[in-house]
Chains A and B, each alone.
Chain A
Amino acid sequence: MSSIFIIVPIASILALVFAWIFFKSMMKNSEGTDRMKEIAQYVRDGAMAYLKRQYKVVGIVFVVLFILLAIMAFFKVQNPFVPIAFITGGFFSGLCGYLGMKTATFASARTAHGASQSLNKGLQVAFRSGAVMGMVVVGFALLDIAAWYLFLSEVVFTPAHMVNGVHFLGLDFVHAGTTEAQKLVEITTTMLTFGMGASTQALFARVGGGIYTKAADVGADLVGKVEAGIPEDDPRNPATIADNVGDNVGDVAGMGADLYESYAGSILATAALGAALPAIALEKTGINAVQAVTAPMIVAALGIILSIVGIYMVRTKESATQKNLLNALLLGTGGSSVLILLALVGLAFAGWITWGVFGAVVIGLAAGVIIGQATEYYTSDEYGPTKGIANQAQQGPATTIIDGIAVGMSSTWIPVVTIVLGIMGAFWAAGGANEFAMGVYGIGFAAVGMLSTLGITLATDAFGPIADNAGGNAEMSELDPEVRERTDALDMLGNTTAATGKGFAIGSAALTAMALISAYMEEVRLWFGKIAKGGEGFITKGEYIFYNDVAPAVHDGMKAVKISTASVKDLAASYDITLFNPLFLGGLFLGSMMAFLFSALTMKAVGRAAGAMVDEVRRQFREIKGILEGTGTPEYAKCVEISTKGAQREMLLPSLVAIIVPIVVGASMGVAGVIGLLAGGLTAGFTLAVFMNNAGGAWDNAKKYIEKGNFGGKGSEAHKAGVVGDTVGDPFKDTSGPSLNILIKLMTMVSVVMAGLTVTLSLL
């Protein structure tokens, strides 16, 4: 192990220590009045009830998948470490969601109370609480990665084990005769599978959270606001607590699990690509294989330390204006990004990464900023597209929908072009023109660079929902209007700073998925080696013969390639991964379809779950005396339970489809079909996700723009049309859109984990 690697576990533990410090400092603040405490407790109870049930259902799914993976490992079509790696990925992701939610639900009343003192005080409480989430996510993700890396490299793949092999319970944990180069590939591809656990948990958290939050939101709005005519966040509305719980489970727990998966996925995929760099490429660049593998982890570790520095840079005077606060937040996030670039310069000088990889990271960061700004342009009411939707609302709901869809669709061009240029730029900057493997390594590294300061960018993302909940608490507790104005200001601040964070999240998801597809091919190569070893020492695929040590005799027209030096292009050629292969083309179509089918399933799920909530709220208004007079207490817990049950029931089908389809395609259409599926899923899913997120955001802000007093303001015909647009956009931006990025990566992760089965079946 390299001595500098020690920074990785130290930084991850440091992150957790600071998460604890931030949590304790947040807890020292008062929760305010008894009413504020009471409401916060309702939300806390609801959130924990949701998580308990969610983890129960997800736990069952994990146990089933663990057994299936263990059976596959027994039949030698699966790495024996995978079942355990899968569980740890899911466990830490779930733990992050739990701790993030716990912090957020403790923070809302405290933020509201802080806002009653000053805007700065409110910001400090909300931001430090968001920082807990940020630190917990990066801390546990890197700790899990570091622990696995150390365990596999120092305990499992010891020199003695590599010579003699390790066999236990009939399973081959280490093959006898494993070389140093194979060791790194084995370690990184094993670790990559822990990403499947994280992705599976993330998909459940995002889909479940998305369904929950929208079911509660629609239920609260349709019956409470529209039928009974009571305002939002009114304690007389039985669904209002569920609505506030929903903000936590969707925006905090869901987002935390999502970014945990992105963060871990980008590091693991890049490490796997680093391990696969051919010796000739390493020789040219002057870095060794261990450096190529550990560099993304070291960059992530530096990112954690710089994120902590950035968090402490967010300081203002007590009398700070909103502009001061915004500048302070931008200084924190921008400052840590600049510092990470300087750290990368240091690593490049030290020879840990190439200058080309440094260039790839710069390109990645630039792409993230551009995507974030484009998102802001298409969804903020300060710019033409959203104002245009509001303008169209004067004609009625139909034109509002048409214009919103058009804005969402046109909003895809900047992110897509940016990602295309980013992929090409990172590929070429890293040296892809001369060495393909270096190019894709650069693409992976660009994603790692974008997410390296996730500790602080997630803090700015998560503090928005906390401020939003604080506003709800202030509303229900009937605090002074000044307090609500401040919590609203904090919420707006969160939306502004989150724009760049979103850009990084979206951009890194595309780049990571791209890197993961390349890593999948590495997994295929690994299984070629294992299958060849278990047979005659070589395998034949298409016009290629892949061999381990000794090249067999080849017929005319056949090409013999040593597996350890086989390039991705060789593997792709052996499976005929071209547009003229119906398996690949069919896979492309299926991948594109998956993005749409998955979105449809999640949107339908919201509709059904919301229906149950509507019935319950109506029942309570009908049967509980004195609700509207404020003398009767609604049964908040019933609504929380209905949303929870609905979310659990409805999240299963879309999530299982995302897991099963890649397995079925792999088994029936082979590697070409899987690559087609992943490429189709990535391109269609990415574009559809941008479309849905931006259309939903633009509809929401167009409605708010009208409510600010434009085109007739609240109660006007334009407002009614705006509300229709916002309602259509809700499941777009809060359920289906955010889940698509995870769908893309989960399908890739499942394919990686199931590569053994796919390759084995394709060779039969």
Chain B
Amino acid sequence: MKNHFYLVATPESLIASHLEPFEFGNYLAVGTKKNLRSQSVFFELDAEKLDLPDEYINHKLVTYPDGEPKRSVYLSIYRVFETTPLDALLNLYLVTDDGKVLEIKCQAFTTTSEKEIHLYQQYNPFTTQVASKLSPPEFIQFLTDPEKPVSVPKVFFVELRLNELAHNPNAPLNNLPYRNPAHLRECLMRLEQSSERLTKTVLRERKSELPYRTIKSGFYIGAGSDFLFYPFPPHEELESTYFSWWRSALVQHF
């Protein structure tokens, strides 16, 4: 059986598995006994670009006596994003609660000149939600600048939709399901009113799962000017091409 390696963001871990990405995503979400469900986000990794503990893998990653594939062998659970080189990252996979998997390929990022407020949900190394005047590449540089007293070696985050709020914090919330909208508006207003302030923390920690439908441009991972962009497909494409996943992603969970 072929060995696969995955960098999981929910929670942070490096996992070896016999499962193909779609099977692995389903396994992560619902387990083998279907008694659990959870959203997951992970990358497939290029083993050639990684420094892996081969001996440990050969010892642990073996099929079960009945021929069943080994589903997961944890190789690392600490500072994995930081130590994984960007060129080892292959496709990104978004898994819904019930195990439907969407594959996203990396693409070149196109800069837009429009000035607006952005909302970023970080996955690693923190799970803070931040509103910012910075574009995604600027935000990466801002957070990973080693010259600054507060910085991180690498960030992985997703840009979320603000719709009209991006230009007018008092605009109606409409289809944005964010908790405590009054607080969000206040954060956006403070950011808008201050010319010096570039970022404002909205939520210190994300406690619930991310509604995928709120994703705007897509996922970003990197440090400094070196980053990868994984664009989230437009809703029309999700509706027409990835309907099964999209339906699952739209389900309301409690």
Show the binding face of A for B, using Cβ within 8 Å.
Answer: 225-232, 234, 236, 475, 478, 480-481, 621-622, 627-629, 709-717, 719-720, 723
Residue interface bits B160-199, CB-to-A below 8 A is 1, else 0: 0000000000000111111101000000000000000000
- A628 is contacted by which of B98, B173, B239, B254 (Cβ under 8 Å)? B98
Contact between chains at A229 and B178 (CB < 8 Å): no
- Nearest-CB residue, chain A, relative to B253: A229
Q: Is the CB of A719 within 8 A of B252?
A: yes
**A231 and B177 within 8 A (CB):** no
Residue of B nearest to A226 (CB): B254
Whether B109 sits at the interface, judged by CB under 8 Å, is no
- In the complex, what distance in Å separates the CA atom of A509 from the CA atom of B181? 47
Q: Which partner residue on chain A sits nearest B35 by CB separation?
A: A622
User: Which listed residue, B26, B33, B179, B243, touches A717 by the CB 8 Å rule?
Assistant: B179
Complexed CA–CA distance, A480 and B26 (Å): 24
Cα distance A226–B179 in the bound complex, in angstroms: 20
Q: How far is the CA of A227 from the CA of B253 in the complex (A)?
A: 8
Instruction: Tell me if A228 and B37 are in contact (CB < 8 A).
Output: yes
Residues 16-41 (chain B) with a chain A CB within 8 angstroms:
23, 26, 30, 33-35, 37
Most buried by B among A231, A627, A711, A723: A231
Q: Which residues of B sit under 8 angstroms from A709, Cβ to Cβ?
A: 174-175
Q: Contact flags (1/0) for B32-65 with A, using CB distance below 8 Å?
A: 0111010000000000000000000000000000
- A-B contacts, CB under 8 A, total: 86
| Residue of B23, B34, B248 touching A231 (CB-CB under 8 A) | B248
Q: Nearest chain A CB to B93's CB is how many angstroms away?
A: 16
Contacts of A715 in B (CB 8 A): 177, 211, 213, 252-253
6 nearest CB pairs, A to B = A229-B97, A709-B175, A716-B177, A713-B175, A715-B177, A715-B211
Given A481-B239, A628-B26, A710 contacting B175 (CB threshold 8 A)? yes
| Contact A712:B175 (CB < 8 A) given known A226-B253, A481-B239 | yes
Q: Which residues of A contact B222 (CB under 8 A)?
A: none
Report yes or no: A478 in contact with B244, Cβ–Cβ below 8 A.
yes
Interface residues of B in 197-254 (CB under 8 A from A): 211, 213, 239-240, 243-244, 247-248, 250-254
| Residues of chain A within 8 A of B239, CB atoms compared | 481
Q: A478-B243, A622-B33 are in contact. Are A629 and B177 (CB under 8 A)?
A: no
Question: 5 A-B Cβ contacts within 8 A?
Answer: A231-B98, A231-B247, A628-B34, A629-B26, A715-B211
Tell which of A227, A228, A712 touches B177, judged by Cβ atoms closer than 8 Å: A712
A126 to B179, CA, bound (A): 42
Determine the chain A residues whose CB is within 8 A of the CB of B248 once the complex forms: 229-231
Chain B positions within 8 Å of A716 at CB level: 176-179
Q: B residues within 8 A CB of A475?
A: 247
10 additional A-B pairs beyond A229-B97, A716-B176, beta carbons within 8 Å, are A225-B251, A229-B251, A231-B248, A231-B251, A236-B98, A478-B244, A709-B175, A712-B174, A714-B252, A717-B177
For residue B243, which residues in chain A have a CB less than 8 angstroms away from its CB?
Answer: 478, 481
Asked if residues A713 and B98 are in contact (CB atoms below 8 Å), the reply is: no
B34 touches A712 (CB 8 A): no
> B252–A720 contact, CB under 8 A?
yes
Chain B nearest Cβ from A268, distance in angstroms:
48
- Roughly how many angstroms separate A715 CA and B210 CA in the complex, as a whole number? 9
Residue B96 interfacial (CB < 8 Å): yes
Residues of A within 8 A of B136 (CB): none
Nearest A residue to B240, CB-CB: A481
* A468→B2 CA distance, assembly (Å): 45
Counting chain B CB atoms within 10 Å of each CB, which of A234, A480, A627, A715 scores highest?
A715
Q: Please provide the chain B residues from 131 to 181 with a CB less than 8 Å away from any CB of chain A in the complex.
A: 173-179, 181
Q: Which residues of B contact A225 (CB under 8 A)?
A: 251-252
Complex contact A713–B37 (CB within 8 A): no
Pick the residue among A478, A622, A627, A723 that contacts B252 (CB under 8 A). A723
Q: Is the CB of A713 within 8 A of B99?
A: no
Could you tell me if A710 and B30 are in contact, using CB atoms closer than 8 angstroms? no
Q: In the bound complex, how far is the Cα of B243 from the Cα of A209, in angstroms? A: 32
Kindly state the separation between the CA atoms of A392 and B99 in the bound complex, as whole angstroms.
34
Known A229-B253, A231-B251; judge A629-B99 contact (CB<8 A).
yes
A228 in contact with B34 (CB, 8 Å): yes
B174 contacts which chain A residues (CB < 8 A)? 709-710, 712-713
Task: State how many angstroms separate the Cβ of B202 from the closest Cβ of chain A.
Answer: 15
Shortest C-beta distance, B108 to chain A (Å), equals: 29
Contact in complex: A719, B177 (CB < 8 Å): yes
Say whether A628 contacts B99, CB under 8 Å: yes
A713 B176 Cβ-Cβ under 8 A:
yes
What 1/0 flags go to B68-104 for Cβ under 8 Å of A?
A: 0000000000000000000000000000111100000
Q: In the docked arrangement, what's the CA distance between A710 and B99, Å?
A: 28
In the bound assembly, the distance between CA atoms of A715 and B96 in angstroms comes to 14
Which of B34, B99, B239, B253 is the most central at the interface, judged by chain A CB atoms within 10 Å of its CB?
B34
* Beta-carbon nearest neighbor of A710 in chain B: B174
A623 CB to nearest B CB, Å: 10
Measured in the bound complex, the distance between the Cα atoms of B251 and A723 in whole Å is 12
Q: Give B253 Cβ to nearest chain A Cβ, in Å.
A: 6
The answer to whether B35 touches A714 (Cβ under 8 A) is no
Residue of A nearest to B38 (CB): A229
Shortest C-beta distance, B22 to chain A (Å), equals: 10
Which residue of chain B lies nearest to A481 when distances are taken between CB atoms in the complex?
B239
Cα–Cα, bound, A245→B141 (Å): 57
For A228, list chain B residues within 8 Å (CB): 30, 34, 37, 98
A719 to B253 CA separation, bound complex (whole angstroms): 10
What is the CB-to-nearest-CB distance from A209 to chain B, in angstroms, rounded to a whole number?
Answer: 27
Known A-B contacts A628-B34, A710-B175; A720 and B99 likewise in contact (beta carbons under 8 Å): no
Contacts of B34 in A (CB 8 A): 228, 621-622, 627-628
- Min CB gap A165→B, angstroms: 71
Closest partner residue, chain B, to A724 (CB atom): B254
Chain B residue contacts of A629, Cβ below 8 A: 23, 26, 99
Closest to A624 in B: B34
Q: Is the CB of B240 within 8 A of A628?
A: no
List, in ascending order, chain B residues with CB within 8 A of A720's CB.
252, 254
Please pick, from A226, A227, A230, A712, the residue contacting B173 in the complex, using a CB distance under 8 A.
A712
Point out the residues of chain A lying under 8 angstroms from B181, CB to CB: 712
- B36 CB, nearest partner CB in chain A, Å: 10
- In Å, the complex CA distance between A24 and B123 comes to 59
Which residue in chain B gives the minimum CB-CB distance to A227?
Answer: B37
Contacts of B240 in A (CB 8 A): 480-481
State A215–B175 Cα separation when bound (angstroms): 31
What residues on A are CB-neighbors of B251 within 8 Å? 225, 229-232
> B41 → chain A, closest Cβ, in Å?
16
Closest to A716 in B: B177
Report the bound CA distance from A668 to B40 in whole Å.
68
Question: Nearest Cβ in chain A — how far from B64, in angstroms?
Answer: 15
Task: Please pick, from A227, A234, A712, the residue contacting B178 in the complex, using a CB distance under 8 A.
Answer: A712
Report how far A225 CA is from B252 CA in the complex, Å: 8
Residues of B within 8 A of A478 (CB): 243-244
B21 → chain A closest CB, angstroms: 14
Q: In whole Å, how far is B85's beta carbon from the nearest beta carbon of chain A?
A: 33
Contact of A714 with B97 at beta-carbon distance under 8 Å, contacts A709-B175, A720-B254 already known:
no
Roughly how many angstroms separate A714 CA and B37 CA in the complex, as a whole number?
19
Q: How far is the CB of A630 from chain B (nearest CB, A)?
A: 9
CA distance A627 to B98 in the complex (A): 11
**Cα–Cα distance between A234 and B97 once the two chains are bound (Å):** 14
Instruction: Give the shortest distance, in Å, between B100 (CB) and chain A (any CB).
Output: 9
Chain A residues near B175 (CB-CB < 8 A): 709-710, 712-713
Closest residue on chain B to residue A229 by CB atoms: B97
Contact (A714, B99) CB under 8 Å given A231-B250, A478-B243: no
The closest CB in chain A to the CB of B33 belongs to A622
Q: How far is the CA of A716 from the CA of B243 in the complex (A)?
A: 22
Contacts of B250 in A (CB 8 A): 231, 714
User: Which residues from B are CB-within-8-Å of A711?
Assistant: 173
B177: nearest chain-A partner, CB-CB = A716
Chain B residues with CB below 8 A from A627, complex form: 34
B164 CB to nearest chain A CB (Å): 12
Nearest CB on B from A634, distance (A): 12
For B99, the chain A residues whose CB sits under 8 A away are 628-629
